[in-house]
A and B are shown apart, each in its own frame.
Chain A
Amino acid sequence: MPIRQMHFLLLLSRQGKLRLQKWFTPVTEREKKKVTREMTLMVLARPPHSCNFLLWRDLKIVYKRYASLYFCCGLEDQDNELLTLEVLQRYVELLDKYFGNVCELDIIFNFEKAYFILDEFLVGGELLETSKTAVGIAMEEAETLQETMEEYMSKPTY
């Protein structure tokens, strides 16, 4: 009996636009759209200062609003909701450190970076790194591998 940490992580804007989606189980495109729609309806309708936990289908939904973005994830029944709030908090902090006072526009225009950071933080729905600094260090080092345009053009093609 699987005890996945997370089924999905979605970032939704206040207008209901999807800014980031990570699915940790194999789901069809159609199902993804459906789930996203339902999450949007449910989470955006919550009044401020509500409890951050909801029940939906057979999952627990933990969501937290940061400025204009709703971070929303679906968990299995066994999971610790309070800890998940901390996970979301940590991800936001990592984004903040990387982008410097992160805001929604950063995530829109640099979505691939947001994904790279997420992939240094969560893998397969489980937490990968608990250190505050390790993710940032990894991102920096990986970026040194990003070639400039000249190097690009001079490298042989595959």
Chain B
Amino acid sequence: MSPSVRLQEMIRVIRGARTQGEERGVIQRECAAIRAQFRQADNGTRSHNLAKLLYVHMLGYPAHFGQMECVRLIASPRYNEKRVGYLGAMMLLDEKQDASLLITNSIKNDLSHSSQYVQSLALCTLGCMGSAEMCRDLAPEIDRLLRASNSYIKKKAALCAVHIVRKVPELGELFTPASRSLLSEKNHGVLHGAVVLITELCERNPETLEQFRKAVPELVQIMKGLVMSGYSPEHNVAGISDPFLQVRILRLLRILGRNNETASDAVNDLLAQVATNTDSSKTAGSAVLYETVLTVMDIKSESGLRVLAVNILGRFLLNNDRNIRYISMTSLQKIVQTDHNAVQRHRGTIVDCLKDQDASVKRRALELSLALVSAVNIRSLMKELLLFLSSCPPELRAHTTSGIFNAAERYAPSQRWHIDTILHVLTTAGGDVRDETVPNLIQLITTATELHCYTVHKLYRALIADISVQSLVQVACWCIGEYGDLLLRGECEETEPVQVAEDDVLDALETVLQSHMSSPATRGFALTATMKLSTRITHNVDRIRSIVSIYGSCIDVELQQRAVEYNALFKKYDHMRAAVLERMPVIDKSSPGHTNGESAGGSIKEMEPTKRTQEVVLPQEPANQVCDLLDLLGGSGEPPQPSPALSTTALGPVSSTAGGDLLDLLGGLDAPLDHVTRPGKTLGPNYRLFMTFVSHSYPPQSVQLQMKAPSGDVIPAHGLGQVTQTVLLNNPNKVSLKMRVRVCYTSQDFVCQDTVQIDSFPSPAW
């Protein structure tokens, strides 16, 4: 009975199991039997039992109890057992297991065995899983075998040496002399192993690299021999003689020629020869050509050769084989910076690859297309990219949108084109854009002053068509709120004007407000826009009033707060409403704060990224409420009262003993500033100054508070400067006051808050 039937029998039984449970049962039984067999004395079945165990291991079951058996079998004199033992060692033992050390001695003995097949087992195992210790131990043996043995052993010893060098780089010196002489071997296997070993040695040791530069002519000769040689059946692959060896030699030449004129010169001719003579109709030839191109681009080659290389890549782009198109684009990506013009010539083909069915090819084509965008081709290329966006796979959408935005920002030929492009992206893929897109677009719109009418018309049309894309809806609401008057005027130069009535516009905004699809941030936009329209329309202000008052009891706290504040604006502060809601000034792009669209709480707060403007919100009525927040606005033009003003400085330590007239609002900021170098705090879009009155008799209606604009935008780090904001308190009844002050600001893209309580004001102040 041939011994391996038992193994195959077991495999058959396992495969016959109908359920996972049944399979587990069979395997448990078998493993128990195997364990028992391992414990017994030698009965001729050890190797088969181990083989069975290895099969079970491959199915995913634990097999660690076989490790010692591997050690035992490796030490056996029988070839069969050694063979399976070594296989087991490679599968079950790795350098992390202690048992792997136990086989070191056996390997050492087997390396000098009389049979080359036993030697080969030892070499293969050492080259696969040898630990650093084992490598150190056995390196001299390997060196010996590199020099004096037959080709079968030499080639294995070479790759074993490669493994040793990877594990213990210092041993590289040991192998250098032997590897040099291996280059004169005729056997391809040995030659290949030698080239791999030399490559490894040169990569790790610059001195060795210098030494082997002298071998360049020899390598060139070998390569020439391969390229020009006749047909060799043993090594021929699709007309190429030993493409594997050719590629490795090319790679070694690349390493030797890098940053070295002489070596590069010596290989120029060879590379040209290979490039022109290699038949690339099949993969083997293409592989060699590919390696040639990589080598040309990496060494100091003549410009003519570089052009040839790029042309080869261009030819690859037209190849029917997807794989070849893929690697061509990978290579072009690597050189697009250095040889930009050469790659530009192939732009058309690259853009065509955007339409390929395969996801890998599409991804490469996208990367390369984005790298090729320039001022010259922006219009045509953007058309292609937008077309791509409408049908691109979901995993690429976010990358595509951000790539398009970057390109548009750098090379936009006109503002109108820029706005159109962004709007197109938002309509097609608005769900996949980054958060900063909304404030960026708003900023762009405000700067394009001549296009306000055009923009608001376009956005209005987009809004009534579809309110599901949040980013688009937010921008649309903002625009309508801001430029609604232009919309209602019914005339526009750049595009067909819409004829809308005020009710239509309010309907649109209300739809957004009420829709389930709108996120809380979007509804905030819509509400604010509605409010802003109150100064831009003439007939329907009451409707706005009622909308605003309805949302005063909305469940969403943010929305409710806004509604209540706007309500108050209608009721008590109607005289200020027009000024508060007037047209925004142009936003300065250079203020870093404005691009910050992410607030700490996650919801996008008021998207009015101006430097100065804040909103007026005034105290609420409930008598027992102590912590109502006042959001105060400066710059409304009221003349300062003759009562003394409180100056506040923005930096410096909190002095709770309010010494003197100086009260510091931004107290407690020293600690963070000490540790980190900060570029300074920007009073960006999230800048708010909250001041609350803390008192027993509330509200102190007699007290009036007026805040002026802060003196600057940015507080430099490390206390190198300050921003002053003047607050005027009018306290005619001389009520004693405590105030809680909270400042919100932006620092390095984080929204921060600081709170300070002022318990007493200097008495002469009143």
Contact = CB atoms under 8 A, between A and B. Distances in A.
Interface of A: 1-4, 17-21, 23-24, 26-28, 33, 49-55, 80-83, 85-87, 89-90, 108-109, 111-112, 115-116, 119, 123-124, 126-134, 138, 141-142, 145-147, 149, 152-153, 155-158
B8 A82 contact: no
B315 to A, nearest CB: 14
A86 B234 contact: no
Contacts of A146: 79-80, 83
Contacts of B294: 80
Interface string B622-641: 00000000000000000000
B358 interface: yes
Contacts of A28: 96
Contact of A83 (B54, B124, B188, B287): B287
A154 B51 CA distance: 22
Contacts of B159: 123-124, 126, 128
B243 A83 contact: yes
Interface stretch (B264-272, B321-329, B503-511): B321-329
A33 B58 CA distance: 10
Given A28-B96, A86-B244, A152-B80, A3 B203 contact: yes
Contact of B115 (A3, A86, A126, A145): A145
21 contacts: A18-B58, A23-B94, A26-B95, A33-B60, A50-B359, A54-B360, A80-B251, A80-B291, A81-B327, A82-B287, A83-B287, A123-B163, A124-B162, A126-B196, A128-B159, A129-B188, A131-B234, A132-B234, A149-B2, A152-B3, A158-B72
Contacts, number: 179
Contacts of A89: 283
Nearest to B3: A149
A53 B360 contact: yes
Contacts of A145: 79, 115, 117
Nearest to A152: B44
Contact of A111 (B41, B55, B120): B55
Nearest to B77: A158
Given A80-B247, A146-B80, A108 B11 contact: yes
Interface in B236-292: 237, 242-245, 247, 251, 283-284, 286-287, 290-291
Contacts of B155: 128-129
Contact of B323 (A24, A27, A51, A128): A51
Contacts of A152: 3, 44, 78, 80
Contacts of B360: 50-51, 53-55
Nearest to B121: A119
Nearest to A109: B8
A156 B326 contact: no
A85 B283 contact: yes
Interface string B125-162: 00111000000000000000000000010011001101
Contacts of B243: 83, 86
B192 interface: yes
B87 interface: yes
Nearest to B286: A82
B647 to A, nearest CB: 58
A150 B663 CA distance: 103
Given A80-B290, A133-B234, A146-B79, 8 more contacts: A33-B60, A51-B322, A51-B323, A53-B327, A124-B127, A128-B159, A132-B234, A149-B44
B323 A80 contact: no
B358 A86 contact: no
Contacts of A129: 155, 188-189, 192
B358 A51 contact: yes
Which 10 residue pairs spanning A and B have beta carbons closest together?
A82-B287, A51-B360, A123-B159, A83-B287, A124-B163, A145-B79, A51-B322, A124-B127, A157-B42, A129-B189
A53 B326 contact: yes
Tell me if B's interface is mostly helix, strand, loop or mixed.
helix
A11 B500 CA distance: 66
Contacts of A112: 51, 54, 84, 87
B3 A130 contact: no
A9 B324 CA distance: 22
A130 to B, nearest CB: 5
Nearest to B244: A130
Interface string B413-453: 00000000000000000000000000000000000000000
A37 to B, nearest CB: 10
Contacts of B55: 111
Contacts of A49: 322, 358
B323 A1 contact: no
A158 B160 contact: no
Given A50-B358, A82-B290, A123-B156, A24 B242 contact: no
Contact of B322 (A24, A50, A109, A158): A50
Interface in B355-411: 358-361
A10 to B, nearest CB: 11
Contacts of A147: 78-80
Interface of B: 1-3, 8, 11-12, 15, 41-42, 44, 51, 54-55, 58-60, 72, 75-80, 83-84, 87, 90, 94-96, 115, 117, 120, 123-124, 127-129, 152, 155-156, 159-160, 162-163, 166, 188-189, 192-193, 196, 199-200, 203, 233-235, 237, 242-245, 247, 251, 283-284, 286-287, 290-291, 294, 322-327, 358-361
Contacts of B124: 119, 123
A17 to B, nearest CB: 8
Contacts of A111: 54-55, 58
A1 B294 CA distance: 19
Given A26-B94, A124-B128, A155 B189 contact: no
A147 B4 CA distance: 12
Given A83-B244, A112-B54, A158-B75, A130 B192 contact: yes
B452 to A, nearest CB: 45
A121 B83 CA distance: 16
A54 B358 CA distance: 11
A123 to B, nearest CB: 4
A21 B160 CA distance: 20
Given A21-B58, A51-B323, A51-B360, A127 B192 contact: yes
A147 B117 CA distance: 14
A83 B78 CA distance: 38
Contacts of A27: 94
Contacts of A83: 243-244, 247, 287, 291
Which of A86, A89, A152, A157 has the largest count of B CB atoms less than 10 A from its CB? A86
B117 to A, nearest CB: 5
A158 B361 CA distance: 58
Nearest to A19: B58
A33 B159 CA distance: 27
A130 B360 CA distance: 30
A116 B83 contact: yes
Nearest to A137: B152
A119 B35 CA distance: 28
Nearest to A4: B166
Nearest to A138: B152
A4 B115 CA distance: 30
Contact of A155 (B78, B96, B286): B78
A53 B291 contact: no
* Interface-central residue, A20, A33, A108, A127, by most chain B CB under 10 Å: A127
A127 B127 CA distance: 12
Contacts of B188: 129-131
A86 B283 contact: yes
B244 A127 contact: yes
A111 B682 CA distance: 67
Contact of B287 (A1, A86, A131, A138): A86
Given A33-B60, A145-B115, A128 B193 contact: yes
B613 to A, nearest CB: 48
A123 B128 contact: yes
B198 to A, nearest CB: 13
A142 B160 contact: no
Contacts of B42: 157-158
